[in-house]
Amino acid sequence: MNRLRSINHKALKTGELLVREGMARQEDVDAALDVQLKEGDAEIPSPASSYSINRSDDIPEGIGIRTIGEILCSLDLVSPIDLNRVLLKYGKRLKLGGMLKKMGIISDAQIRTALESQQFNFKSLGQILIEQEFITEKQLYDALSRQHNLQYKRVDGFEYAESNKAELIQIIGHNYADENSIIPLTLEGNKLTLAVYSPENMLSVHELKNVYAYLRIECVLIPQDRFKELFKELYGVTHSHPLETRTHIPTASDIQEKKPETPSIEDEEEPDVPSDEDMEAFIQYLLKYGITKNADSIHIEQIGEGAAIRYRIGGNLKGLDVPGLGEKLPRLIRDLIHKLKEKAGLDDSDHENPQSGLVRIRFFNRETNKQAEVGFRISVLPTSSGDIVTLTAQTPSASIPSIDDQDHSVHTKTALKRLLEASTGIILISGSEKSGKEQTLFASIKHLYGPDRKILMASESEQPEIAGVIQARVNQDHLTYEQLLRAFLDHDPDVIVVDTIKDMGTARAVVTAAGSGQLILCGIDAEDAVDAMWKLMAFGVERESIAQRVNGIISQQRVRRVCPSCRKAYTPEPEEWNVLFDSFPARLAFHKGAGCTTCGLIGYAGHTILSEVLIIDGEISQALRTQAEQTVIRQIAMASGNKTLVDDGLLKLKQTTLDEIVRAVPFKMIVAYKTAKKSGKTGNDRSEVSYETIKKEWILSSSHSEEARILEMYQDLKLFRNEDRGLDPDEKNIFYDFISETFHQVCRDYKCRRVLFCMESHPGDLSFWAAPVFVKRHG
Ligand SMILES: [Zn+2]
Beta-sheet strands, E only, within 646-773: 694-700, 754-762, 765-773
Q: What angle do CA 483, 485, 489 make, to 5 degrees?
A: 115
| β-bridge pairing 425-431 and 519-525 | parallel
What architecture is the 399-679 domain classified under in CATH? 3-Layer(aba) Sandwich (3.40)
The pLDDT score that the predictor gives to residue 661 is 95
CA of 659 to the centre of ligand 1 (A): 17
Helix axes 325-343, 276-292, angle to 10 degrees: 100
C-beta separation of 739 from 713 below 8 A:
yes
- Distance CA(690)–CA(682), nearest Å, equals 11
Which 8-state DSSP code applies to residue 93? B
Name the range with the highest mean pLDDT among 190-199, 208-217, 233-242.
190-199
- pLDDT at position 260 over 80: no
2 or 63: which carries more pLDDT confidence?
2
HEC profile of 195-222: EECCHHHHHHHHHHHHHCCCCEEEEEEC
26 or 119: which carries more pLDDT confidence?
26
- pLDDT at position 235 over 80: yes
Instruction: Name 606's bridge partners.
Output: none
Q: What angle do CA 297, 303, 307 make, to 5 degrees?
A: 65
The pLDDT score that the predictor gives to residue 544 is 94
- Distance CA(671)–CA(677), nearest Å, equals 10
The pLDDT score that the predictor gives to residue 247 is 30
Q: What is the mean pLDDT of residues 511-515?
A: 90
CA of 172 to the centre of ligand 1 (A): 12
- Distance CA(130)–CA(247), nearest Å, equals 19
CA of 594 to the centre of ligand 1 (A): 6
- pLDDT at position 48 over 80: no
261 or 350: which carries more pLDDT confidence?
350
CA of 568 to the centre of ligand 1 (A): 10
- Distance CA(512)–CA(521), nearest Å, equals 14
> pLDDT-based confidence at 750, cuts 50/70/90?
confident
C-beta separation of 185 from 166 below 8 A:
no
CA of 393 to the centre of ligand 1 (A): 26
CA of 321 to the centre of ligand 1 (A): 21
CA of 604 to the centre of ligand 1 (A): 6
- pLDDT at position 292 over 80: no
Name the range with the highest mean pLDDT among 139-143, 205-209, 242-246, 766-770.
139-143
The pLDDT score that the predictor gives to residue 497 is 95
The pLDDT score that the predictor gives to residue 496 is 95
C-beta separation of 197 from 173 below 8 A:
no
Phi, psi of 449 (to 5 degrees): -65, 135
Helix axes 437-448, 410-419, angle to 10 degrees: 50
Which 8-state DSSP code applies to residue 236? S
239 or 90: which carries more pLDDT confidence?
239
The CB density around residue 345, as the number of other CB atoms within 10 Å, is 11
- Cα maximum dimension of the chain: 112
Closest Cα partner for 457 from 414, 500, 406? 500
Name the range with the highest mean pLDDT among 315-324, 397-406, 721-730.
397-406
Q: What is the mean pLDDT of residues 442-455?
A: 88
Q: What is the mean pLDDT of residues 641-649?
A: 90
CA of 607 to the centre of ligand 1 (A): 13
Closest Cα partner for 218 from 192, 244, 237, 254? 192
The pLDDT score that the predictor gives to residue 66 is 67
CA of 605 to the centre of ligand 1 (A): 7
Q: What is the mean pLDDT of residues 11-17?
A: 68
CA of 566 to the centre of ligand 1 (A): 4
738 or 726: which carries more pLDDT confidence?
738
- Structural domain spans, the chain: 2-94, 151-248, 279-393, 399-679, 694-773
Q: What is the mean pLDDT of residues 433-456?
A: 89
Residue type, 358: L
392 or 494: which carries more pLDDT confidence?
494
CA of 205 to the centre of ligand 1 (A): 17
Note the pLDDT tens digit of each residue in 524-558: 999 999 999 999 999 999 999 999 999 999 999 99
C-beta separation of 290 from 375 below 8 A:
no
CA 415 centroid distance within chain: 30
Q: What percent of the chain has pLDDT over 70?
A: 81
Mean pLDDT estimate for the chain? 78
Q: What percent of the chain has pLDDT over 90?
A: 20
- pLDDT at position 53 over 90: no
Beta-sheet strands, E only, within 75-135: none
CA of 600 to the centre of ligand 1 (A): 7
C-beta separation of 557 from 529 below 8 A:
no
Least confident of 77-91, 127-141, 270-284: 270-284
The pLDDT score that the predictor gives to residue 46 is 40
CA of 565 to the centre of ligand 1 (A): 5
- Distance CA(252)–CA(117), nearest Å, equals 9
- Length of the chain, please? 779
C-beta separation of 394 from 376 below 8 A:
yes
CA of 475 to the centre of ligand 1 (A): 45
CA of 313 to the centre of ligand 1 (A): 14
244 or 81: which carries more pLDDT confidence?
81
CA of 598 to the centre of ligand 1 (A): 5
The pLDDT score that the predictor gives to residue 645 is 95
CA of 592 to the centre of ligand 1 (A): 9
CA of 216 to the centre of ligand 1 (A): 22
The pLDDT score that the predictor gives to residue 49 is 34
- Distance CA(669)–CA(532), nearest Å, equals 13
- pLDDT at position 259 over 70: no
- pLDDT at position 740 over 70: yes
CA of 561 to the centre of ligand 1 (A): 10
CA of 562 to the centre of ligand 1 (A): 8
- pLDDT at position 11 over 50: no
List the CATH code of the domain at 151-248: 3.30.300
- pLDDT at position 688 over 60: no
Q: How far apart are the first and last CA of the chain?
A: 112
- Distance CA(122)–CA(127), nearest Å, equals 10
CA of 497 to the centre of ligand 1 (A): 40
How many CA within 13 A on the CB side of residue 300?
27
The pLDDT score that the predictor gives to residue 494 is 92
Helix axes 26-42, 2-20, angle to 10 degrees: 160
279-393, which class in CATH? Answer: alpha beta
> pLDDT-based confidence at 763, cuts 50/70/90?
low
C-beta separation of 37 from 1 below 8 A:
no
CA of 173 to the centre of ligand 1 (A): 11
- pLDDT at position 779 over 70: no
CA of 86 to the centre of ligand 1 (A): 27
C-beta separation of 255 from 121 below 8 A:
yes
CA of 239 to the centre of ligand 1 (A): 21
CA of 655 to the centre of ligand 1 (A): 13
